[in-house]
Chains A and B, each alone.
Chain A
Amino acid sequence: MSGAMIRIEDVVKRYGAFTAVDGVSLEVPPGEIHGFLGPNGAGKTTTIRMIAGLLKPTSGRIAIDTFDLATEPVRAKQALGFIPDRPFLYEKLTAAEFLRFHGGLYAMEEKAIAQRAARLLEMFELTRWEGELIESFSHGMKQRLTLAAAFLHRPRAVLVDEPMVGLDPRGARLIKDVFRRMSAEGVAILMSTHTLEVAQEMCDRISIILGGKIIARGTVPELRAQAGGEDEHLTPVFLKLTGGGGFQEIDEGP
């Protein structure tokens, strides 16, 4: 697919003798919400961190909006919005100051930052708190502020690592709505999550990673077919594909 917003080609990441990501290839076209699933330690976060430009791949190529991350990192990152699983926020800044700084990092003009920040603070229900120090925010508020920062510069591709952790149902609903709206506007979203209901509800396509390799890819019905079952929900499909039978062990006494 030539018009992919996020494109990963045969990416490998080795830590000494251990291969964390083993030849992963992936494409997310504009407007698609792509789920990135896998059990703990499968290589999801390593892949996400390589796409965000935080880790150097051992080999392979990553491009954002056709810009190669290795040769044109500034232009590639300019097109990307990144929402990490453990976001860093300057605790002694206010929400408005943080957004202003974030906009500056993405080389936005002051006036554009002010207009866009006001709009996003309202969208993420943070307008009341814009003058408060981030250290006084709850987890959900910090999560929403991170999302506002990621969308501030109007990215054409968004990378999300575990967006729903610690959010209440209202916050989760809000984020789902925002992702859908962004996707409708043509933003490509690559979302890593453990919440299979969210993936099933929101993602157009899903890639499942296990042992550093993509073992399945497709829409939910396609994955269901690959797993060879008739299950309506994604959870049993995921468990069949990733061999997660050991989940019951904790309930079974000696």
Chain B
Amino acid sequence: MTTTIARPFPWLLTPVFLGVRNRARRRETGDGLRLAVFAGLGFFVAAALFAIVFWLSYKLDQYEELGDYLVRLGLSWLFLTFLSFLAFSALVTSLTTFFLSEDLRLLVAAPLDPDRLFYSRFAKAAAQAGWMVVAFLVPVLLGLGLSRCAGPLFYLVLPLTLLPFVLIPTALGALVTLVLVSTFPARRARDLLMLMGLLFAVALVLLLRVVQPERLLRVEALPDVTGFFATLQSPVTPFFPSFWAGELLFSALQGRIDELHLGALWTTALALVVLTRLAYGRHYFSAWSKAQEARKARFTRLRLLDGLALFLPVSAPSRQLLVKDLKVFLRDTAQWSQLLLLVALAVVYVYNFKVLDLDRIPYMSRVVRNAYAFVNLAMAAFVLSAVSVRFVFPAVSAEGPAFWIVRSAPVSMRSFLWSKFWTGLVPVLLLSTALTVASNEILGIAPFLKVVCGLAIVLMSFALVALAAAMGARHPRFSAENLTQVAGSYGGVAFMVLAVLFILVEIALLGWPSSIYLWSDYNRIPLTAVRLATMALCFAAAIALALYVFLHSMRDGVRALEDLG
């Protein structure tokens, strides 16, 4: 008989660490680029957060009591915002970690003590739910601590605050997930969670916008500032862990330990973990077993799509591909629900231009307004790239293991990719054109610029959607578990880099001649023939570049698909 030895629960996470190590040792194409881009972005965001908070806190320090009051209020709001993020993140990660993960088939069949399995999955869920919040909070809190010359106590209290702050929502999320999975089939529970998460994000975006923080910048609105803070203060409740965390850190900032809130954080965290552990010990296997059974899902037949597709002037294979793509998209809650977030962002985007008070600087108003038109064009193009990388880039990979059906069917790769292109282009073009036209209308820019920007965004939509479709074909990830993973792959990052370069060149090619025209028009100076020729050359170059990117990308994408081994 072999001697047995039960290892502590963190050992069950070794595949995660070994996997990361092995991946780092055997670099795949683009890993370096992806790492550099993400690390650079991460560092930039962290540095920006640190700098902003450092500056803000330093300035507030000059207002003594009011400054302290605002820091305290800010901490409560910061933690409340992150608590709500954590709560939803914990729900989604708990569902995946405890019920949907593929490796559970191996682990549940193994002779593991339920405690060890629970704690290892809980640690994984907490890490997955909390890492991003911690990554954002650390530079913010360091900025605060350094600007206030906080003592070592602050830096000691920091991890003692963040750990229970992450554990509390994770435990609650795991408990709610257990109840949800025990009540609904796992697939429905996932759909419900996705939808709730997205609605929450939409609500948050709209809420932040409705609060109108730009009011703070308006000198004439100073009497309203008190009312503004009163609005902020109302949701801060002393019964929330966010309040305890804020108070604890504020005390530590002043060199004191707030035992009451430290105790409240830790006792709540530990009690919830124990309670969750007990609930999982009793009900986990039944819930897990139920999650395995519920493979059937309710779905809408979407027969209208079949009928409407018949009117499209396209070949039968293209029509079927289009109908299939739309049905798959509309039946997957994880996919279509992202449109809600997109709509909310679009509303906020247009609203931002509506509240932009450019008349406060009358002598510059006209120049700034027209310069803003190009900022607007660039921003709309960035939105367009972000939407393309999320929805168009993964279009080929979305075929997944079923791609053999298309490859073995008498369908050319050309018509396959073009079908993907048109499916992506129509909604993206509508969105980007609507955003640009609406915001330019609100800005009240010169009619000449309205035409230039309108045409530019149409051309850029064709080019960027084609680039996304082609890059997706050049770097497919047929084995990816979800499409978000595809968007974050090497090809996705490379697409974003190329898209940004393309947008910058386009803006430069369009912006310079437009400014020359507007300047001469404003000063009533006729344009010389050389100027006119240079302007025409720039516009022509912008059009040629967009057409080249569009056509070359599609040709390259088709070639990449035909060359697939």
Q: Is A97 an interface residue, CB under 8 A from the partner?
A: yes
B13 to chain A, nearest CB (A): 10
Task: Kindly supply a per-residue 1/0 record for chain A positions 74-111, scoring 1 wherever the CB is within 8 Å of any chain B CB and 0 otherwise.
Answer: 11111000101001101011100100011011111100
For window 47-99 of A, CB contacts with B under 8 Å fall at 49, 52-56, 73-78, 82, 84, 87-88, 90, 92-94, 97
A119 to chain B, nearest CB (A): 13
Given the contacts A92-B18, A92-B23, A109 and B5 also touching, CB distance less than 8 Å: yes
Task: Kindly supply a per-residue 1/0 record for chain B positions 89-129, scoring 1 wherever the CB is within 8 Å of any chain A CB and 0 otherwise.
Answer: 00000000000001101111111110000000000000000
> B111 near A106 (CB under 8 angstroms)?
yes
Q: Which A residues touch B259, using CB under 8 A?
A: none
B296 to chain A, nearest CB (A): 9
Q: Which B residues touch A101, using CB under 8 A?
A: 14-15, 18
Closest A residue to B102 using CB positions? A88
Q: Which A residues touch B112, using CB under 8 A?
A: 74, 77, 105
> A54 near B105 (CB under 8 angstroms)?
yes
B114 to chain A, nearest CB (A): 8
Q: Which B residues touch A102, using CB under 8 A?
A: 106, 110
Highest count of chain A CB atoms <10 Å: which of B12, B15, B20, B23: B15
Highest count of chain A CB atoms <10 Å: which of B20, B102, B106: B106
> A104 near B3 (CB under 8 angstroms)?
no
Closest A residue to B26 using CB positions? A133
Q: Is B19 an interface residue, CB under 8 A from the partner?
A: yes
Q: Which A residues touch B298, using CB under 8 A?
A: none
A57 to chain B, nearest CB (A): 9
> B2 near A154 (CB under 8 angstroms)?
yes
Task: Kindly supply a per-residue 1/0 record for chain B positions 23-34, scoring 1 wherever the CB is within 8 Å of any chain A CB and 0 otherwise.
Answer: 100100000000
Q: Is B293 an interface residue, CB under 8 A from the partner?
A: yes
Q: Which B residues touch A247, using CB under 8 A?
A: none
Given the contacts A54-B105, A56-B289, A107 and B7 also touching, CB distance less than 8 Å: yes
Q: Is B525 an interface residue, CB under 8 A from the partner?
A: no
> B286 near A56 (CB under 8 angstroms)?
yes
B297 to chain A, nearest CB (A): 14
B185 to chain A, nearest CB (A): 10
> B292 near A90 (CB under 8 angstroms)?
no
Q: Which A residues touch B285, using CB under 8 A?
A: 56, 73
> B111 near A93 (CB under 8 angstroms)?
no
> B22 near A108 (CB under 8 angstroms)?
no
Q: Which B residues touch A133, using CB under 8 A?
A: 22, 26
> A106 near B110 (CB under 8 angstroms)?
yes
User: CB < 8 Å: which of B26, B103, B113 contacts A90?
Assistant: B103
- In this complex, the interface size class of chain B, counting residues with CB under 8 Å from chain A, is 20 to 34
- In this complex, the interface size class of chain A, counting residues with CB under 8 Å from chain B, is 20 to 34
Given the contacts A92-B22, A101-B15, A108 and B5 also touching, CB distance less than 8 Å: yes
A160 to chain B, nearest CB (A): 13
> A88 near B19 (CB under 8 angstroms)?
no
A39 to chain B, nearest CB (A): 20
> B6 near A107 (CB under 8 angstroms)?
yes
Q: Which B residues touch A108, using CB under 8 A?
A: 2, 4-5
Q: Is B11 an interface residue, CB under 8 A from the partner?
A: yes
Closest B residue to A13 using CB positions? B293
Given the contacts A92-B18, A92-B23, A107 and B111 also touching, CB distance less than 8 Å: yes
A185 to chain B, nearest CB (A): 14
Distance in angstroms between the alpha carbons of A36 and B309 in the assembled complex? 48
> B5 near A107 (CB under 8 angstroms)?
yes
Closest B residue to A79 using CB positions? B111
Closest A residue to B11 using CB positions? A104
A9 to chain B, nearest CB (A): 19
Distance in angstroms between the alpha carbons of A163 and B15 in the assembled complex? 25
Given the contacts A49-B292, A56-B286, A105 and B111 also touching, CB distance less than 8 Å: yes
User: CB < 8 Å: which of A93, A106, A109 contacts B15?
Assistant: A93
B534 to chain A, nearest CB (A): 55
A214 to chain B, nearest CB (A): 22
Given the contacts A92-B22, A109-B5, A52 and B293 also touching, CB distance less than 8 Å: no
Closest A residue to B295 using CB positions? A15
Q: Which B residues touch A112, using CB under 8 A?
A: 2-3
Distance in angstroms between the alpha carbons of A53 and B117 in the assembled complex? 14
Q: Is A34 an interface residue, CB under 8 A from the partner?
A: no
B420 to chain A, nearest CB (A): 27
B113 to chain A, nearest CB (A): 6
> A153 near B2 (CB under 8 angstroms)?
yes
Closest B residue to A97 using CB positions? B18
B282 to chain A, nearest CB (A): 13
> A75 near B111 (CB under 8 angstroms)?
yes
Q: Which A residues touch B18, using CB under 8 A?
A: 90, 92-93, 97, 101
Distance in angstroms between the alpha carbons of A160 and B551 in the assembled complex? 54
Highest count of chain A CB atoms <10 Å: which of B3, B5, B293: B293
> B19 near A92 (CB under 8 angstroms)?
yes
CB<8 Å pairs between A and B, sample of 20 = A15-B293, A53-B108, A55-B289, A55-B293, A74-B113, A76-B111, A77-B109, A78-B4, A78-B111, A84-B109, A90-B19, A92-B20, A92-B23, A105-B110, A107-B4, A107-B6, A107-B111, A108-B5, A109-B3, A154-B2
Closest 4 pairs (CB-CB, A-B):
A92-B19, A77-B111, A107-B4, A56-B289
Given A84-B109, A92-B22, 4 other A-B residues pairs in contact with their CB atoms under 8 A: A73-B111, A84-B105, A90-B103, A109-B4
Show the binding face of A for B, using Cβ within 8 Å.
Answer: 15, 49, 52-56, 73-78, 82, 84, 87-88, 90, 92-94, 97, 101-102, 104-109, 112, 133, 153-154
